[in-house]
Structure 1
Amino acid sequence: MLAFVKRNCQVGNAVTFAVRKTVYFRFNLSFKFRLMKFFNYSTLSALIVAGALLSCNQPATEESIAEAKPEETGEIKVVSTLSFPDGKYIVDNGTSTCNWVGKEASGSSHTGDIGFHKGSISILNNAFGSAFVGINMNSINCTDLDEGGKERLEGHLKSDDFFGTEQHPYALLAVEAVKTKGTESVAVGKLTIKGITQPVGFPITMQQDGDDIIVDGTLTFDRSDFDVRFRSDKWFSDLGDKLIYNDIDLTVHIEARPE
């Protein structure tokens, strides 16, 4: 699998991550997997087929998301007082949620939510192995405006000024490895929006609820890294109060159930 990625996508020899005050990709994700705080400091490596596809900067499509199967490499070291049964856990789109906030220099902001398309978490040797989540970009919903303004904003966010959902209907997050230091675990992987893939890193925790895996977290990503240019100070100057900040905040709740 890694040889394939190196030949076709030129991603390099390994995935590395260092916790710093400033992260290169400006993707500050708090994706709370409470299981992880029991692990010792180690890299839990399991590449996802989706990660190989996305690192080539290919758009996330219905077909590519359907083919995104976490690959279990057997390289995981398990040192944990809490364990899950091995297997795949399917994200429940009905009970999982993702809320967003966008802000302007004028002090105003907009809020809303967006739906998941599909996803799964793979457990190997009773520990986290890999995961992916597909996001339905056409489900962007604004919750702070009434009809009229709500419809205009949703249409604008779906247009080529922002996320171009007609051509890029899905975003995809693929988690490839996890490191743990002290009580903090950090996941690394790839995020694809508008066919552009960026490396990401974020602290995680996970908890078990009966047979289910529950994930809660908050994340911030820089839209300009994904060619979302409208009123961005990375692309335009002298915007004044018309500036829309590049950072978009997400609050995520994921429930995954045994396949």
Structure 2
Amino acid sequence: MKFVLITLITAVSFASVAQKNVAEKIDIDLMQSKLEWTGKKLGGEHYGNIQLSSGHLTFSKNKLVGGTFEMDMASINCVDITDAKSNKRLVDHLKSEDFFSVERFPKSTFIITKAESKSATEYLVTGDLTIKGKANPITFTAKINTMSNQTIAEATLVFDRSKYDVKFGSQSFFENLGDKLVYDDVDMTVKLVLRSE
């Protein structure tokens, strides 16, 4: 009887430890999360937002181990141009075949392949960014903080649009662009607010 009791306690203890080690997937709060983009050209820049359509982060032992988020490319907008016609002209151009070919590729995704803890709140994140059906690895620093039972992950990453066949105004594809030059690097600032239980 004593042996059975000890065996039972041991089994429960192992089960408890195993439960704590199970990876936990937490969905992103799409209403509170946001993604901002900035594109630069010779003599200026434009910036705006892209809505997230889904996503989650995965934790094990309270450490980030994985995750993904999906971007709705049809939602891309510009917030720095105040004239309605000029604003629409730029947004339509961004959605066209010159840039992100939104009709053919309505979604872009990022999938974490590695998350290396640098401190209690900072990670070096590597993952695959897919735009226009082309996937390329990208690495950046992310910070994750929990305050008042709300966990927020924030990062700024830079991707080279020429690697995704976004050719318009790119010196990677064209010469002698002059003042028509649009730089290849695009900045994305991401704020992921995780859904609380």
Return the TM-score normalized by structure 2. Answer: 0.82
| Residue of structure 2 aligned with 1:111, choices 36, 43, 47 | 47
Q: Give the Cα–Cα distance (whole angstroms) in 2 for the partners of residues 239 and 141 of structure 1.
A: 25
User: Per-residue CA shift, 1:23-65, capped at 9, x if unaligned?
Assistant: xxxxxxxxxxxxxxxxxxxxxxxxxxxxxxxxxxxxxxxxxxx
Between Structure 1 and Structure 2, which shows a larger proportion of helix residues? 2
| TM-score, normalization by structure 1 | 0.63
Q: In the alignment, what sits opposite 1:128?
A: 64
CA apart distance, 1:111 = 1.4
The separation in 1 between residues aligned to 2:41 and 2:63, in whole angstroms, is 41
- Larger RCO: Structure 1 or Structure 2 (Cα < 8 Å, ≥ 6 residues apart)? 1
1:177 corresponding residue in structure 2: 114
Return the offset for 1:182.
6.5
Could you list the runs of 5+ residues in structure 1 that have no partner in the other structure?
A: 1-82
What is the alpha-carbon distance in structure 2 between the residues aligned to residue 180 and residue 163 of structure 1?
33
CA distance in 2, matches of 1:171, 1:132: 11
Aligned to 2:33: 96
Report the structure, 1 or 2, having the larger strand content: 2
Aligned residues of 2:56 and 2:67 also touching (Cα < 8 A): yes
| Residues matched between the structures, number | 176
**SS across alignment from 1:113:** strand
Q: Does 1:148 align with 2:148?
A: no
What is the Cα deviation at residue 239 of structure 1?
0.2
Q: Which has more radius of gyration?
A: 2
**C-alpha separation in 2, matches of 1:160 and 1:102:** 17
Query: 1:126 & 1:104 partners in 2: Cα distance?
Result: 41
Give every structure 1 segment of 4 or more consecutive aligned residues whose post-TM-superposition deviation is greater than 4 Å.
Answer: 181-184
2:101 corresponding residue in structure 1: 164
Q: Which amino acid aligns with 1:232?
A: S
Identity value in percent: 37
- The residue type paired with residue 28 of structure 2 is V
- Give SS of 1:250's match: strand
* Partner Cα separation in structure 2 for residue 201 and residue 109 of structure 1: 24
The CA RMSD over aligned residues, in Å, is: 2.1
> Secondary structure of 1:92's partner?
coil
Deviations 1:143-191 (A, max 9, x none): 1112101111111100110000111001100012122356863111111
